[in-house]
């Protein structure tokens, strides 16, 4: 007897039950899809609002744009390299044709480096060399740029107002970094466009009084003294780029940048400095000290979101460019070999 297959059939009640469950599931999926669409719309509105507050929806905002993109660490390193070359060019030109003897120029630079404290300057090297003077000049300018321009928000032509605005930003940042970021960028949107000659003179008289008086810095940028003014103008543009940069931390953490200059004579920290000349002591494993900082380092200061009790975190974005003490003074000490009757020191 042949087998005759019977089609699978279900009762009407089971069919209606399955159909009802399918319809309910479909309605729930549709409801979730609509909720996701509403959330995406709300997120888009919030992003547009944040962009409006930060000014990132304007292609011409300040100087915080490079080819239409927000400034990142790589762009900052490139801009810092350009500023470093300008400082080096000014110091090299001044050393090549000095308006005063190199020893006088070195003494004025040392006085500015050590804040006119002769006890810290120590013994003077008898003969001043071009490399010593050039390195000390770069250290003095780096210190001026770090303390006077980058670490202080330059918003107005008034130094007192800029100091107060810097303190306000620090207070806001300690409470809410995101609010501080919006406040900082909105404030810089109304900042002075360029570094005026009066502002440059204030920076120099405040941080380089000895060299300022010796070089008789004037408005004429073609003079050896006045050639420093374009360097400070470039440093101000670099500072504006740093402080008006949009946040790149996803809205959870915001950061701002600070500069640091290792002191002359301090211990070298490989995490914070980068040697621009070969250090023989370091290669032999011997400790050495900072001879001069030819360009300041940059750190990114971050803090947790509002409500998190954590300290500021600093990440080195660009290490300070340093020449060691032995290279600056031209000291080359060969390793000591034990003395004995044989050439190899043995017995």
> pLDDT (tens digit, 9 = 90+) per residue, 255-283?
788 999 999 888 888 889 988 888 878 77
Instruction: Report the candidate in 285, 281, 280, 291 with the shortest Cα–Cα distance to residue 321.
Output: 291
pLDDT at 343 over 60: no
- Mind spelling out the 3-state secondary structure of the chain? CCCCCCCCCCCHHHHHHHHHHHHHHHHHHHHHHHHHHHHHHHHHHHHHHHHHHHCCCCCCCCCCEECCEECCHHHHHHHHHHHHHHHHHHHHHHHHCCCCCHHHHHHHHHHHHCCCCHHHHCCCCCCCCHHHHHHHHHHHHHHHHHHHHHCCCCCCCCHHHHHHHHHHHHHHHHHCHHHHHHHHHHHHCCCCCCCCHHHHHHHHHHHCHHHHHHHCCCCCCCCCCCCHHHHHHHHHHHHHHHHCCCCCCCCCCCEEEEEECCCCCCECCCCCEEECCCCHHHHCCCCCEEEEEEECEEEEEECCCCCCCCCCEEEEEECEEEEEHHHHHCCCCCCCCCCCCCCCCCC
pLDDT at 108 over 80: yes
Work out whether strand 65-66 and strand 69-70 pair parallel, antiparallel, or are unpaired.
antiparallel
The reported pLDDT for the residue numbered 116 is 67
Q: What is the pTM of this model?
A: 0.71
> Distance between CA atoms of 203 and 343, rounded to whole angstroms?
59
pLDDT at 136 over 50: yes
Higher pLDDT, 298 or 224: 298
pLDDT in tens, 58-86: 443 334 433 334 566 778 888 899 999 99
> To the nearest whole number, what is the mean pLDDT of the chain?
78
The reported pLDDT for the residue numbered 282 is 77
> Distance between CA atoms of 212 and 197, rounded to whole angstroms?
13
> Distance between CA atoms of 5 and 33, rounded to whole angstroms?
43
The reported pLDDT for the residue numbered 52 is 64
The reported pLDDT for the residue numbered 334 is 41
pLDDT at 3 over 60: no
The reported pLDDT for the residue numbered 249 is 46
336-345 contacts at long range (C-beta below 8 A, 24 or more positions apart) = none
């Amino acid at each position: 007897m042949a087998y005759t297959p019977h089609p699978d059939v279900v009762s009407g009640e089971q069919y209606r039950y399955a159909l009802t469950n399918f319809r309910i599931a479909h309605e729930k999926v549709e409801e979730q899809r609509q909720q996701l669409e509403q959330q995406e719309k709300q997120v888009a509105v919030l992003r547009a609002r944040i962009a409006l507050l930060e000014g990132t929806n304007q292609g011409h905002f300040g100087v915080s744009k490079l080819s239409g993109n927000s400034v990142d660490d790589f762009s900052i390193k490139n801009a810092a390299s350009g500023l470093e070359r300008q400082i080096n060019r000014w110091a090299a030109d001044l050393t090549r044709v000095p308006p005063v003897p190199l020893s006088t120029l070195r003494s004025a630079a040392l006085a500015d480096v050590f804040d006119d404290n002769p006890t810290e300057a120590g013994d003077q090297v008898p003969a001043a060399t071009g490399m010593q003077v050039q390195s000390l000049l770069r250290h003095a300018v780096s210190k001026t740029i770090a303390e006077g321009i980058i670490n202080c928000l330059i918003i107005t032509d008034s130094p007192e107002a800029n100091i107060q605005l810097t303190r306000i930003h620090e207070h806001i940042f300690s409470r809410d970094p995101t609010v501080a970021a919006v406040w900082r960028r909105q404030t810089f949107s109304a900042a002075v466009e360029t570094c005026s000659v009066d502002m440059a003179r204030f920076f120099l008289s405040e941080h380089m009084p000895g060299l300022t008086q010796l070089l008789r810095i004037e408005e004429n940028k073609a003079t050896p003294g006045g050639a420093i003014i374009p360097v400070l103008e470039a440093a101000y543009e670099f500072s504006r780029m740093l402080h008006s940069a949009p946040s790149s931390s996803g809205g959870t953490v915001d950061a701002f940048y600070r500069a640091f200059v290792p002191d002359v004579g301090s211990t070298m920290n490989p995490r914070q400095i980068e040697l621009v000349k070969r250090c023989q002591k370091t290669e032999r494993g011997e400790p050495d000290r900072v001879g001069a900082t030819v360009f300041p380092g940059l750190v990114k200061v971050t803090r947790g979101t509002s409500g998190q009790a954590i300290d500021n975190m600093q990440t080195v974005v660009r290490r300070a460019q340093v020449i060691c003490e032995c290279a600056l003074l031209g000291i080359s000490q060969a390793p000591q070999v034990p003395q004995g009757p044989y050439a190899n020191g043995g017995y």
